Structure 1
Amino acid sequence: MGRRDYENDPNAPTANSLVPAASAIVVDDSGRILLQRRRDNDMWALPGGAMNIGESLPECAVRETREETGFDVEIIGIVGTYTNPRHVFAYDDGEVRQEFSICFLARPVAGRLAVSEESTDVRWFQPAEVDALPMVPSIRKRVNDWRDGNAPAAR
């Protein structure tokens, strides 16, 4: 399924669903960040997605990271809360989603790189390498918030 992101775009379609979601900035002991290249928009992104009934937002971030990258992680902080009502995702099936998203800081505890049904590539990057990657503005903002020190430091 394809997806198009709209942020602060006056021509964006009106949201027809509101979804709680979580993402994770996963940082290894070398200070590298884990990213996936999304299949639906061909952009680099943090692992993350919609929360399921019966799970907490931190559990969602851990599950999504495992599913999308192959790594089990431990949540060690919160990068931020992202709730811009002028940021929507339009899907091919007609859903236009506004998300309430918490971005967590995490560290890997087990696993290995693995591509999922939702990704075409999964890699570790030095923080400075991220600037050259194709990425939607909302994900870049989360990465920049972390890099600029607006988030807890990785241990």
Structure 2
Amino acid sequence: MSHGTRRIDYWRDPTAPHPTSRKTSASVFVQDEAGRLLLLKRVDNDLWTIPTGGVKKGETVGQAGVRECKEETGLDIEVVGLVGVFSTPDHVIVYMHGDRVDEVRQPINICLRARVTGGTITPEPSEAAEVRWVQQSDLDAYAVHPALRERIVHGLTSEMPFVS
């Protein structure tokens, strides 16, 4: 875990703090030719996830997904479709700096389908502790937050975009 910001995710928890912000993020659902899924281990909560990050001013959701994947994994990708839009109030994220709450966010995530076009897996230490290709049959062995698991399951089981 990093020594700066810490992240705590709440899912369907009535005791979760009330959000103070809503921000849009892009995530990318990337599979290789063998159907393995690209996962990374976050440094701020030690959970496994697909590449994800905030959409910055001046960029599209697609550009954000491509940028975040490159920053977190070292891989170049191209967007080929949409897994869905995930905006349920059931997911609340608290960002802590030491013992201080910096932000309580209700995320709006646009999850994109993508494929690798180049690069080499080289995790950025401040972004990912580890990056690996995971067989679908092995996914249950990975600690994945329920909100992210929902995106992954939808990406694996449906070609129709999800909207919540």
Query: TM-score category by the smaller chain?
Result: over 0.9
The one-character-per-residue Cα deviations of 1:46-77 (angstroms, maximum 9, x if unpaired) are: 10111000001011100000000000101001
Q: State the match for 2:106 in structure 1.
A: 98
Q: How does 1:31-42 map to 2 (within 5 A)?
A: 31-42=35-46
The one-character-per-residue Cα deviations of 1:90-112 (angstroms, maximum 9, x if unpaired) are: 01142001111110010000011
Q: Does residue 27 of the first structure (1) align with residue 36 of the second (2)? A: no
The whole-number CA distance in structure 2 between the counterparts of 1:150 and 1:2 is: 34
Q: Report the alpha carbon displacement of residue 139 of structure 1 after superposing the two structures with TM.
A: 0.7
- Secondary structure in 2 matching 1:2: strand
The whole-number CA distance in structure 1 between the counterparts of 2:90 and 2:156 is: 24
Instruction: Percent identity, please.
Output: 40
Say which of 94, 116, 137 aligns to 1:108.
116
Pairwise CA RMSD of aligned residues? Answer: 1.2
| Runs of at least 4 residues off by over 3 Å | none
Residues 151, 124 of structure 1: CA spacing in aligned structure 2 closer, same or farther, 3 A cutoff?
farther
The whole-number CA distance in structure 1 between the counterparts of 2:7 and 2:22 is: 16
The whole-number CA distance in structure 1 between the counterparts of 2:9 and 2:152 is: 17
The one-letter code of the counterpart of 2:149 is: R
Q: Does residue 127 of the first structure (1) align with residue 131 of the second (2)? A: no
Q: Report the alpha carbon displacement of residue 34 of structure 1 after superposing the two structures with TM.
A: 0.5
Q: Report the alpha carbon displacement of residue 151 of structure 1 after superposing the two structures with TM.
A: 4.6
Name stretches of at least 5 consecutive residues in structure 1 with no aligned partner: none
Q: Does residue 45 of the first structure (1) align with residue 54 of the second (2)? A: no
- Secondary structure in 1 matching 2:155: helix
Q: Report the alpha carbon displacement of residue 87 of structure 1 after superposing the two structures with TM.
A: 1.0
- Secondary structure in 2 matching 1:72: strand
Name stretches of at least 5 consecutive residues in structure 2 with no aligned partner: none
Q: State the match for 2:73 in structure 1.
A: 69
Q: Report the alpha carbon displacement of residue 149 of structure 1 after superposing the two structures with TM.
A: 2.3
| Structure 2 length-normalised TM | 0.89
The whole-number CA distance in structure 1 between the counterparts of 2:16 and 2:55 is: 24
Q: State the match for 1:6 in structure 2.
A: 10
- Secondary structure in 2 matching 1:139: helix
